[in-house]
Structure 1
Amino acid sequence: MSNSTHPSQGRQYASVFDLNGVPRFGQALPLALQHVVAMIVGCVTPAIIVSGVAGLNEHDQVILVQAALFASAISTLLQLFPFIRFGKFQLGSALPVIMGISFAYVPSMQAIAETADVGTILAAQLAGGFIAILVGLSIQKIRILFPPIITGTVVFTIGLSLYPTAINYMAGGTSSPDYGSWKNWLAAFFTLAVVVGLNHFAKGTLKLASILIGIITGYIFASFLGLVDLSGIQSAGYFQLPKPLHFGLNFDPSACIAIGVLFAINSIQAIGDFSATTVGSMNRQPKDKELQGGIVMYGVTNILCSLIGGLPTATYSQNVGIVTTTKVINRCVLGLAAVILLIAGFVPKFSALLTTIPQCVLGGATISVFASIAMTGIKLIMLQEMNYRNTAIVGLSVALGMGITQAPAALATFPAWVTTIFGKSPVVVATLVAILLNTILPKEKKEA
């Protein structure tokens, strides 16, 4: 039975296993909370990392975290419930996916924040949104440029490039006066131990919420070590609307290129999440209109998010995992999760509380996330035969991408824009080299 009737009202309720229709609130709420728990840490952590690098004060840091929650909620709702349709086109995928602030952009955003400001990141995001729209409209033609060997190399490089961020956070954050102290490392490893333990020994919600539980227990542990500063919460209000254009928009061509390349890659990567959702929970491939509408909406929402101060979003793989595991595909369940995020985004006190999480605790929790990103890249790479040609593509792309960024003086004599595009984030170099090599290297007979 896909519908059930409420005895007192005689109203028809949809099953949570149906894509459309409204299920019972009591049934939907715990399932929605499960999605919120799985993604809220990932949603706000990039904003916390970027605000730290950009040197934002407590007030601006809260606004950036608040905007991250708000942007994720709006992006998810627009993706779930397309309201623009004409002919075979719909703006939005209408698939059960959650959108959130993406770690994929963190290395490039850090590089921009070091030399510019948050407004430069948001302007590059706005430009990237238009690139995503172009990718969505021409997805059938350009998809051939991004086989698993390319997307896998990019994702693997993203994971590798985030490791120094995690280690610096575990040590307490480079701006901290007690950077590298034993207290920071103790709290970091305690948090990591909880996350790893729950991931491997727990089941159900405890496993799904491993990172959130790890941060909560790590936070309590760190407070006993005197690492938690709650002074910023008192000055934060109880209700505040997001502040559009609070950080402004500062267009820098090199920053736009660096972020724009990632938008093109992430647009293709989204196909993987859309496909995993439909194959894992509905036993079918996504329709062309779902893919195209989803990627175009991904671009549209990022343009919108750049104006309200939210950082770049993407589909969240951990929530795809929940959908495919539970087979709960009802869009209202995921919509309720987005509404919970939306409400949280209106409460500066909540955002301020999130900013008090010690960096060592965040590092201990997120290093496992970064490790899983790198391993996802390896899984994608291994979908294709690792012959001499493909080994060369992956090896050279990662070597040049990681190598150039780890030798800061390597591009010292080049113009500043060259350093911004190619010398700060390994992802751009790895992507361009991988696409170039995949295009020009001769295919082996069996592969051809």
Structure 2
Amino acid sequence: MSQHHILYALDDKPGFMVSLTAAVQHMLASFVGVVTPTLIIASALGLQAEIPYLISMALLVTGIGTFIQTKGFGPVGSGLVAIQGTSFAFISALLLVGTTIKSRGGSNDEILAMMFGVCFWGAFVEIILSQFIQQIKRVITPITTGVVIIAIGISLIKVGMTDLAGGFNSDSFGDVANLNLGLGVLLIIIIFNSHRNRWLRLSAIFIGMTVGTLVAYAAGMTDFSALSSLPYFSFPQPFKYGFDFDWSLFLPVALIYFFTAIETAGDLTANSLFCQLPIKGDKYLKRIRAGILGDGLNSLIAAVLCTFPNTTFGQNNGVIQMTGIASRKVGYFVAAVFVVLGTFPFIGALLQAIPKPVLGGATLVMFAMVAVGGVKILTTEPLNQRNSLITACSLGMGLGVMLVADVLAQLPAWLGNIFLSPVTTAGMTAIVLTLVLPNPAVSQQVPADQPKPDEQ
């Protein structure tokens, strides 16, 4: 990214309206990602009565976690505009936990107690792992992180396109009206983001979604019926549903924590790239260590307040790249917006009523930007035979399980749930091959205490 593409750098302090507008766009880009895992898990397990509180806590913890990650407190927090949110990577593992407890005759409270119990202890996997970044830096390379970021972006594209067509399980999925609305929003964002006026550029996502929502309202495509049944306020209650633990259910969740740490390293690398910070060296590793520790601590807070594990969201890197605003001040505004949304369920539900095609049209391009960010990271290293092989095999495995999920049908349930995530499969493949395949660049280096061939 060239310098002129950044309108406000990390330490710049844009005005109130610029910060608020950028923060709202970050919120809109990640709002669906924050609430969707909760909706998927709760709906699949029949926890409809608990959904309002679970969503409020998801939004509240996103605000708290984003502030911790952006501000940075000593060794905790990357200091970047690293928006936190509920991780999609845990959905399969947590559904396994929930269905197991439900099959044992467990109540809703017992299901949630077990899920939040294993999530609480699992967070320590990420917390401990963060302290060994120096030891595992061999596998945190531009190749492995680039592969993980590409897998994240491509897997998110499916979510954006599904929303553009009407959303999961929609009766009108693929309807021409949905496609026209979503593509119209996408076109508006492209037009305004290409404008030379910086205000129009930084407001492109907001303008596109606002126009799309107004058009949808005029066409009768919005539904605000759920607003009347919501409480006015929602206050956090630590371990509201109790606390439980089971080793056999803990292990798959713990393994996901390991790979979300690698995913976070990739997201923070992309974020650093967009903020024009170095992605090599001691300062970079320190930033990654603090970011992963921040993720682990935020997931610990999430379990205490009864919501699912948090991670650094990749889609917000797309917002930074598209708006050109990388200011840390915007991160504080994002945190405040999410805390307000979590405290007042009515506001969150109002945003939740934005039609799926509108959200899909806006998020599709941002999710694709995440994948482009991964490509940029990959190109910082020469794509020699070894690196090309690692990239090809990793993306082939990751995208393969995404496109043909039945390939894992004969595996044990816990193992299939782990590898069902394209991010996990691609990341694991990249790490194993990085460790196994010899690196010619390293093997050909001459030790410092030996003379070079031309000096002998």
The reply to whether TM is greater than 0.5 is: yes
Match of 1:418, as an amino acid? L
1:272 to 259, 269, 277: 269
Report the identity percentage.
24
Structure 2 counterpart of 1:429: 425
Residue 92, structure 1, aligned to residue 90, structure 2: no
**1:58 CA drift (Å):** 7.1
CA contact (8 A) 2:213 2:355 kept: yes
Match of 2:312, as an amino acid? A
CA distance 1:247–1:367, change in 2 (3 Å): farther
- Determine the C-alpha separation between the residues in 2 that align with 1:81 and 1:51: 26
- Determine the C-alpha separation between the residues in 2 that align with 1:151 and 1:124: 27
1:242 to 233, 236, 239: 236
**1:395 CA drift (Å):** 0.7
Residue 419, structure 1, aligned to residue 413, structure 2: no
Residue 136, structure 1, aligned to residue 130, structure 2: yes
Structure 1 counterpart of 2:381: 384
CA distance 1:389–1:114, change in 2 (3 Å): same
- Determine the C-alpha separation between the residues in 1 that align with 2:50 and 2:399: 32
- Determine the C-alpha separation between the residues in 2 that align with 1:94 and 1:54: 29
CA contact (8 A) 1:148 1:380 kept: yes
**1:393 CA drift (Å):** 0.6
- Determine the C-alpha separation between the residues in 1 that align with 2:39 and 2:199: 31
- Determine the C-alpha separation between the residues in 2 that align with 1:158 and 1:93: 22
Match of 1:30, as an amino acid? M
CA contact (8 A) 2:154 2:367 kept: yes
Match of 2:439, as an amino acid? K
**1:326 CA drift (Å):** 5.9
CA contact (8 A) 1:240 1:347 kept: yes
- Determine the C-alpha separation between the residues in 2 that align with 1:291 and 1:67: 26
Structure 1 counterpart of 2:317: 317
Structure 1 counterpart of 2:34: 47
CA distance 1:113–1:392, change in 2 (3 Å): same
**1:40 CA drift (Å):** 0.5
How many residue pairs get matched? 413
More displaced stretch, 404-413 vs 56-65: 56-65
Residue 233, structure 1, aligned to residue 227, structure 2: yes
CA contact (8 A) 1:132 1:296 kept: yes
Deviations 1:326-352 (CA, angstroms, capped at 9, x unpaired): 6855x6x74354234322321111011
Structure 1 counterpart of 2:348: 351
Match of 1:426, as an amino acid? P
- Determine the C-alpha separation between the residues in 2 that align with 1:18 and 1:445: 34
- Determine the C-alpha separation between the residues in 2 that align with 1:167 and 1:121: 30
**1:158 CA drift (Å):** 1.4
Q: What does 1:283-432 correspond to in 2, within 5 Å?
A: 286=283, 292-308=289-305, 309=307, 311-314=309-312, 316-317=316-317, 334-422=331-419, 424-432=420-428
Residue 70, structure 1, aligned to residue 64, structure 2: no
CA distance 1:171–1:110, change in 2 (3 Å): farther
C-alpha root-mean-square deviation of aligned residues, in Å?
A: 3.5
Structure 1 counterpart of 2:167: 173
For the residue of structure 2 that corresponds to 1:239, the secondary structure is coil
Residue 207, structure 1, aligned to residue 201, structure 2: yes
CA distance 1:178–1:306, change in 2 (3 Å): same
2:16 to 18, 21, 29: 29
CA contact (8 A) 2:147 2:395 kept: yes
- Determine the C-alpha separation between the residues in 1 that align with 2:238 and 2:356: 27
Q: What does 1:133-172 correspond to in 2, within 5 Å?
A: 133-172=127-166
**1:63 CA drift (Å):** 3.4
Match of 1:335, as an amino acid? Y
- Uncovered stretches (5+) of structure 2, i.e. residues with no partner: 1-7, 99-110, 445-456
**1:414 CA drift (Å):** 2.1
- Determine the C-alpha separation between the residues in 1 that align with 2:163 and 2:326: 36
CA distance 1:336–1:158, change in 2 (3 Å): closer
- Determine the C-alpha separation between the residues in 1 that align with 2:417 and 2:180: 35
**1:144 CA drift (Å):** 2.0
More displaced stretch, 211-220 vs 250-259: 250-259
Query: TM-score with structure 2 length normalisation?
Result: 0.78
- Determine the C-alpha separation between the residues in 1 that align with 2:242 and 2:291: 27
Deviations 1:360-416 (CA, angstroms, capped at 9, x unpaired): 222221111211111111111111111121111111111112213322332322211
CA contact (8 A) 2:166 2:356 kept: yes
For the residue of structure 1 that corresponds to 2:84, the secondary structure is strand
- Determine the C-alpha separation between the residues in 2 that align with 1:167 and 1:319: 18
Query: TM-score with structure 1 length normalisation?
Result: 0.79
CA contact (8 A) 2:76 2:294 kept: yes
- Uncovered stretches (5+) of structure 1, i.e. residues with no partner: 1-15, 84-89
CA distance 1:257–1:122, change in 2 (3 Å): same
- Determine the C-alpha separation between the residues in 1 that align with 2:350 and 2:126: 33
- Determine the C-alpha separation between the residues in 2 that align with 1:446 and 1:319: 37
**1:148 CA drift (Å):** 0.4
